[in-house]
A and B are shown apart, each in its own frame.
Chain A
Amino acid sequence: AQSVTQLGSHVSVSEGALVLLRCNYSSSVPPYLFWYVQYPNQGLQLLLKYTSAATLVKGINGFEAEFKKSETSFHLTKPSAHMSDAAEYFCAVSENAGGTSYGKLTFGQGTILTVHP
Chain B
Amino acid sequence: GAVVSQHPSRVICKSGTSVKIECRSLDFQATTMFWYRQFPKQSLMLMATSNEGSKATYEQGVEKDKFLINHASLTLSTLTVTSAHPEDSSFYICSASRSGEAFFGQGTRLTVV
Contact = CB atoms under 8 A, between A and B. Distances in A.
A43 B93 CA distance: 7
Contacts of A41: 9, 91, 107, 109
Given A44-B93, A103-B95, A103-B96, A49 B101 contact: yes
A94 B100 CA distance: 10
B43 A109 contact: yes
Contacts of A31: none
Nearest to B107: A43
A51 interface: yes
Interface stretch (B11-19, B44-52, B63-71, B81-89): B44-52
A32 B102 CA distance: 11
Contacts of A104: 34, 46, 49
Contacts of B1: 46
Interface of B: 1, 4, 6, 9, 31-32, 34, 42-46, 49, 51, 91, 93, 95-97, 100-107, 109
B100 A51 contact: yes
A32 B105 contact: no
A77 interface: no
A102 B46 CA distance: 13
Contacts of B9: 41
A109 B93 contact: no
Contacts of B31: 100
Interface in A35-76: 36, 41-46, 49, 51
A69 to B, nearest CB: 19
